[in-house]
């Protein structure tokens, strides 16, 4: 039986470095894992508007992330593959992450299983420790709200000057 992995894919470029990294994962681990991919740009989730409906009723007033919420409750392994824009995640992915506020507000970490997260991040500039720290700190709090710990961080940086992958 294949294990499930939930993938949050945050790149608009279907031919870019993040897409290449995702394709390598899908190809190399196809027989071992079953990948459930949430493509942030295709999903186009509504941003959290701070309405507090989730505090009152235990669910978001928007239904566009219901599938993602269901997967979050049951899948223990999460991979986020994303470019870094201005030391943060792209807006469509950030909208999804901000909607994890549901879990933060409910403090319902016990209703979803403990998770392990791998971050695969791509950036055009050369990342230094400070840059990485900013992004990882954001990710730490994002994933804490869904009962997850970051176990591995892979940085693909300086891609404006150095090719990250072969064109083969």
CATH of the domain at 114: 3.40.50.360
N- to C-terminal Cα separation, the chain: 31
Count of domains forming the chain: 1
Q: Is the residue at 135 inside a domain? A: yes
Q: Is the residue at 165 inside a domain? A: no
Q: Is the residue at 120 inside a domain? A: yes
Q: Is the residue at 167 inside a domain? A: no
Q: Is the residue at 168 inside a domain? A: no
Q: Is the residue at 162 inside a domain? A: no
Question: What length does the chain have?
Answer: 168
Q: How far is CA 30 from the centre of its chain?
A: 20
Q: Are the beta carbons of 95 and 133 closer than 8 angstroms?
A: no
Measured between alpha carbons, how far is 150 from 117 in angstroms, rounded to an integer? 5
Residue-level pLDDT at 166: 62
- Taking the chain (168 residues) in runs of 10, the rounded mean pLDDT of each run is 92 93 92 95 96 90 95 94 96 97 75 90 92 95 94 93 70
Q: Is the residue at 63 inside a domain? A: yes
pTM over 0.85: yes
Q: Is the residue at 163 inside a domain? A: no
Query: Which residues form the domain of 10?
Result: 3-156
């Amino acid at each position: 039986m294949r294990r499930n992995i939930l993938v949050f894919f945050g790149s608009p470029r279907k031919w870019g470095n993040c897409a290449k990294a995702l394709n390598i994962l899908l190809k190399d681990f196809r027989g071992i894992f079953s990948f459930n991919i949430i493509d942030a740009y295709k999903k186009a989730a509504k941003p959290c508007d701070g309405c507090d409906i989730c505090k009152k009723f235990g669910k978001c007033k928007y239904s566009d992330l219901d599938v993602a919420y269901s997967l979050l409750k049951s899948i223990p392994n999460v991979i986020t593959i994303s470019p870094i824009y201005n030391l943060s995640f792209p807006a469509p992915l950030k909208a999804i992450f901000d909607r994890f506020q549901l879990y933060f507000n409910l403090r319902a970490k016990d209703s979803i299983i403990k998770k392990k997260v791998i971050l695969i991040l791509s950036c055009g500039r050369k990342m230094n420790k400070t840059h990485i720290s900013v992004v990882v700190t954001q990710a730490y709090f994002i994933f804490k709200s869904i009962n997850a710990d970051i176990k591995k961080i892979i940085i693909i940086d300086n891609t404006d000057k150095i090719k990250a992958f072969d064109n083969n």
